[in-house]
Structure 1
Amino acid sequence: MFVLLPPSETKRSGGGFASLDIDSLSFPALNRRRRTVVRALKTLAKDEDATVRALKLGRTQLAEVHRNATLVTSPTTPVIDRYTGVLYDALAADTLSTDARAFAGEHLLVHSALLGPVGGLDLVPAYRLSHDSRLPELSLKKHWAGDVSLVLEKVGGLLLDLRSEGYVALGAAAGHPQRFFLRVVTEGTEGQTRALNHFNKKSKGEFTRALLENGQDFGTVEDLLAWAATAGLTLRPGAASELELVVTGH
């Protein structure tokens, strides 16, 4: 089983490990494309005004330009410790048990716009690049979509896709035989279902944390659904190749 998360625009600075080593990342078939994006982002960072426009930065976010300019020399930290924001605050990687972190290293993936899908404990620098960023002469969607789809479709076992649709566009896994896209929904008093927006991130983080702490490598979606029922989670089949995580109070 693999859980595939979106990244976050916000990231912690610093890190306790050496600078970026692309050859150490998961999915080495993507390394050539990773190097291309890294070079493009470094080149863009030489022009502050162009970077502000391309990455849609505010004038108070100019430190992000420096992050990109130094992304190949700055220290790295594990993926699950790098990202912040609603989803990753709910995941609370720094409070995971030792076993849960080890499980994340084997079964958690995060889809970065800079590096493509990476493993949960892969070492990455701080950077700024989103799925909808516009690099000069480089369309992230065209650059990533084909090769990312190929590597994701080859991932073995159950694949739970918790990405936002913007990151799915950078590489769908529609050809994966056991890929299920997770939607977070809530039900009204009369049983009507509606999707959540902001609160879906928190729910995805809490759900991922529960999976990591549980530490079971579910072989089928039926096994996953059976566990969820015992864990106090309302998880059910949705549309074709989709699951619905039903939450209350939003």
Structure 2
Amino acid sequence: MTNSLIALLPPSETKRDGGSTVSASLFGPVQDEAREEALTELRALAGDAEAHQRALKLSDKLAETERARNLALCDAPRMPALERYTGVLYDALDVASLPDAARTWALERYVIQSALWGLVRGSDAIPAYRCSASTGLGKRSMKQRWARACAAVLAEHKGVVLDLRSKSYAALGPLPDRDDALVLEFVTRMPTGELKQLNHFNKQGKGEFLRTLALADSEVHEQLDAVGDMEGLCSVLRALGIEIDPISEREAMVAVGDPRQQRLGQSTTTG
């Protein structure tokens, strides 16, 4: 089997409505039992308006909209997961504006860690829903529900795995213990040269990074598929102009622009 890169993304609480009635099987069928269990329990939870709002920590403004989504999960229209999610990361990636070849590559190579569906490819068709890593469904935690099945999917994958997930979602699918399963942390370089954590703002940096990878040419994509360790990844990314600094054999920091500083610069020059 030919090796291929996949990048693991966190989901977003916000999702686009709409889609079609076309449904298909999802990535990693070993997860199907957990998916069915989570789906059944979420729909049952949605049957009780107060319990649903409390469990999902929803405001009064959002409670009924999100409950309606969860009640209609089995019959709701679907669209590719990478197009379903909105928010800072997905807006920065902006998959809809990618050229056809780049969009196809992203849909196949970007895998989202969902609390309801497990690991899904960007091309997998899913409905709009509301459920997070902290949502209580039934008697099991999300980690207990997903960790074994998701870990099995990742262990079976042939090729580099880039982990861009937040910690709460990374816990739902532990990486395999091998040289090409790599964790990327996103930081910004300060004027002093110091690297600083971006916290919430790292989502935009992740989206821009993912867009850069998708827009790379076929030769770069082949090089990414051939990556076997951190050294190989750094070589490919640096050639793309991406600043990456390893902090261990399987972890690295990717330095991106700070959106707060960019906005400050814009207001200074236009004010």
Give the alignment's TM-score, normalised by structure 2: 0.86
* Counterpart residue type for residue 237 of structure 1: P
Alignment of 1:72-83 (within 5 A): 72-83=74-85
Q: Write the deviation string for residues 185-217 of structure 1: whole angstroms up to 9, x where unpaired.
A: 123344332211121000000101111121504
**3-state DSSP of counterpart to 2:136:** coil
Q: Write the deviation string for residues 24-79 of structure 1: whole angstroms up to 9, x where unpaired.
A: 10101111111110000011110011000111111001200010000110000001
CA contact (8 A) 2:179 2:250 kept: no
**Partner residue, 2:185:** 183
**Partner residue, 1:6:** 10
Q: Write the deviation string for residues 95-142 of structure 1: whole angstroms up to 9, x where unpaired.
A: 011111221233211111101001110000000000111123232111
Q: Which runs of 5+ in 1 are unaligned?
A: none
1:56 correspondence with 2:57: yes
Per-residue deviation, 1:243: 1.7
**3-state DSSP of counterpart to 1:148:** helix
Q: For 2:168 and 2:42, how far apart are their aligned partners in 1? A: 19
Give the alignment's TM-score, normalised by structure 1: 0.93
Q: For 2:89 and 2:206, how far apart are their aligned partners in 1? A: 6
**Partner residue, 2:238:** 229
Q: For 1:175 and 1:44, how far apart are their aligned partners in 2? A: 36
Identity %: 39
Alignment of 1:24-39 (within 5 A): 24-39=25-40
User: Alignment RMSD, CA only?
Assistant: 1.6
* Counterpart residue type for residue 9 of structure 2: L
Per-residue deviation, 1:145: 1.0
Q: For 2:90 and 2:190, how far apart are their aligned partners in 1? A: 27
Per-residue deviation, 1:245: 0.7
**Partner residue, 1:173:** 175
Q: For 1:177 and 1:73, how far apart are their aligned partners in 2? A: 42
**3-state DSSP of counterpart to 2:177:** coil
Q: Write the deviation string for residues 143-195 of structure 1: whole angstroms up to 9, x where unpaired.
A: 11122112112211111000000001112114244111110112334433221
* More divergent stretch after superposition (190-199 vs 25-34): 190-199
Q: Which runs of 5+ in 2 are unaligned?
A: 262-271
Aligned length: 247
* Partner of residue 153 from structure 1, selected from 142, 152, 155: 155
Q: What stretches of structure 1 move > 4 A for 4+ residues in a row?
A: none
**Partner residue, 1:211:** 213
Structure showing the higher helix proportion among its residues: 2
